[in-house]
Structure 1
Amino acid sequence: MNQQQHTLGNIAAHQGSIILIDKPRGPSSHQVAAWVREITGVSSVGHTGTLDPPVSGVLVILLGRAVRLTSILHQDDKEYIALLRLQGDVSDNDLKEVILHFTGRIYQRPPKRSAVKRALRIREIHELEMLDRNDRLVLLRVKCDSGTYIRSLCHHIGLACGVGGHMVELRRTRSGPFYEKDCVTLHALRDAVEQARTGDETALAQIIRSPLEALEGMPRIYMKESAADAICHGARLSSRGIMSFDKFQMEDLVVMMAGEDLIGIGEALMTSSRIVPGEKGLVVAPRLVLQDTGIYPAVWKTHTPREKSLKRTDC
């Protein structure tokens, strides 16, 4: 096994890893993910939040078992810098008033070129501000829900101004907790891999991130290691298997931990205020698991067929 395989083999192990790429204009997000797969040698690679080929910026690449987090992480809110070109003259005051009306919940229909069904949808614009203006060119900062079409937003702002408008350029500056300053280029990633081949893993270690960074802000619940294997088999976590926890509400998504290991993500079956560690009561139902079975001791097993049913196990 060569040095590259030895170094990068650890990326996909255990709970997977994340690499933040500053996507250039031109290639699709799928192509960038394919290049990362080729550079790292990791077979399982995905990404959260597609960027169209003309769009640049933060692209969160998931490697190994972290790919299982795609369905959760793609929901993270996003931030963009957009360049809008108005097709007529509009005063600053009128433009600012129109922009103000687009803050909050808005209706959008995906463009005809979109790969998703063109059903009317509701998205929230959390923040929308004009950063600069040069005649009919307007620089906007947009903080919004995932799945917001900035091209449509620019078009609608132009219509509301009474002159029309379209998006000229777009860059994603944040995805969830990750900012553009956290990203590396594909060239930097390749250079780091080449250095790792020679035995210097310093640069690569700085690029590779833990999935826990992407789950920042999500409540955590720490379980006993004796309960971890049952969770990996799909069992629900009970108060008996809990050591400590953050505050959360019923139906919240919670991060399930065993020591420093990320076991997976689950849905809360009760509020944290009702938990009594050591007592009966199902607390979390796993939604996705990142660890293999057999890593932790299987002390949860019982002797009757009924008690061995994982869906009824109380860990």
Structure 2
Amino acid sequence: MVHGILVVDKPPGMTSHDVVARVRQRLGTRKVGHAGTLDPDATGVLVLCVGDATRLLEYVSAADKAYEGEVVFGRATDTDDASGLVVASASARQLRVEAVEAAARRFVGGYDQRVPAYSAVHIDGQRAYERARRGEALQLPLRRVQISKLEVVSFTPGDEARAWFRVVCSTGTYVRSLCRDWGQALGLPAHMGSLRRTRSGRFDLTQAVRLSEWENAADPARALRPMEEAVAALPRLCLEGGQGQRLVHGQAVPLPPDVDLGTAETAGDVAVMASDGSLLAVGRVHREAGRGWVRPRKVFWKKGVPCK
């Protein structure tokens, strides 16, 4: 079985699960998962974990994400994007770029975002989009999201005014909901016209492969990146041979004396590496009797030996 990370430039017209299914078929393995859904019409960076790397999805998924997109002011849809049915319209002819930029600044930081009706969020045991398609009235939940950056790149006035933007946001943010809320802040119906993810955590478009080209490659496994990149943001820890062996066999081991307990404890999880640079385990740091310990959370047994 192959193990690693595949960064795909997702084409339009496919769900994230469609991409997963095609990668499973091409690599001949069921162990494939994606780190952050992209809507069918959206394109760009979709990070997939393959084999043992699927156990590290939580670290890839938790990272922030960057997008480029277009917001359309003057028309709202039931899906909050261009694929939906129009539910409200109003002329945006009086809208100016200064107002659009001022409204954008109001979203930078944290804000409570209502998830879209056509989403995979569970409401009373059912997907929201299933109930929305039946015409049911939904009590959609609010989620606290973080917007690190929201920048207007260009603006085109008109009855349907359009703004091209860049946004950096926390995982779980619905950019189409942001576009809807951006319009509401200006007193106008609005929807997301297009969206392209340019970065997911440390992975960006420069590292992505086009799905069709990858599927036609003679050796598609060569495009997989090392699974160690999934935990690149974690502090790295090298244990002496005996301690490393005990950790991968499920035992808690003391932190080396040269490791700062306060820093390690704040980090929580650490990547425990072998001398050849491969990942032995992900451990959780805790304090007991004034001493720091590492307890294994995820063990990856490899032929590589612990650090000596």
Ranges in structure 2 where 5+ consecutive residues have no aligned partner:
75-91, 123-139
Q: Does 1:228 align with 2:244?
A: yes
DSSP-derived class of the 1:264 partner: strand
Report the counterpart of residue 170 of structure 1 in structure 2.
195
Q: Runs of 4+ in structure 1 displaced over 4 angstroms?
A: 242-247, 295-298
Q: Which one has the bigger strand percentage?
A: 2
Query: d(CA) in 2 for partners of 1:256 and 1:238?
Result: 13
Alpha-carbon distance change, 211 to 267 in structure 1, aligned in 2, over 3 angstroms: same
Q: Does 1:140 align with 2:165?
A: yes
- Count of aligned pairs between the two proteins: 266
> In terms of mean alpha carbon deviation, does 214-223 or 23-32 score higher?
214-223
* Cα RMSD (Å): 2.6
Ranges in structure 1 where 5+ consecutive residues have no aligned partner:
1-8, 197-202, 272-279, 299-315
Q: Does 1:127 align with 2:127?
A: no
Kindly provide the CA deviation profile for residues 28-54 of structure 1, in whole angstroms up to 9, marking residues without a partner as x. 111101101111223311110011111
Q: Which amino acid aligns with 1:48?
A: A
Query: d(CA) in 1 for partners of 2:263 and 2:213?
Result: 39
Report the counterpart of residue 153 of structure 1 in structure 2.
178
1:8-157 alignment runs, 5 A limit: 9=1, 11=2, 16-87=3-74, 88-89=92-93, 90-117=95-122, 118-135=140-157, 136-157=161-182
Alpha-carbon distance change, 245 to 65 in structure 1, aligned in 2, over 3 angstroms: farther
TM-score w.r.t. length of structure 2: 0.79
Higher relative contact order, structure no. (Cα contacts within 8 Å, ≥ 6 residues apart): 2
DSSP-derived class of the 1:163 partner: coil
Q: C-alpha displacement at 1:236, in angstroms?
A: 1.8
> In terms of mean alpha carbon deviation, does 90-99 or 211-220 score higher?
211-220
Kindly provide the CA deviation profile for residues 174-229 of structure 1, in whole angstroms up to 9, marking residues without a partner as x. 0000111210012221232x2x3xxxxxx853x22012223223211111232233
Identity across aligned pairs (percent)?
Answer: 32
1:174-185 alignment runs, 5 A limit: 174-185=199-210
Query: d(CA) in 1 for partners of 2:176 and 2:57?
Result: 24
Query: d(CA) in 1 for partners of 2:59 and 2:229?
Result: 13
Match for 1:284 among 289, 294, 302? 294
TM-score w.r.t. length of structure 1: 0.77
Query: d(CA) in 1 for partners of 2:37 and 2:260?
Result: 34
User: Any conservation in 1 of the 2:264–2:270 contact (CA below 8 Å)?
Assistant: no
Q: C-alpha displacement at 1:121, in angstroms?
A: 1.4
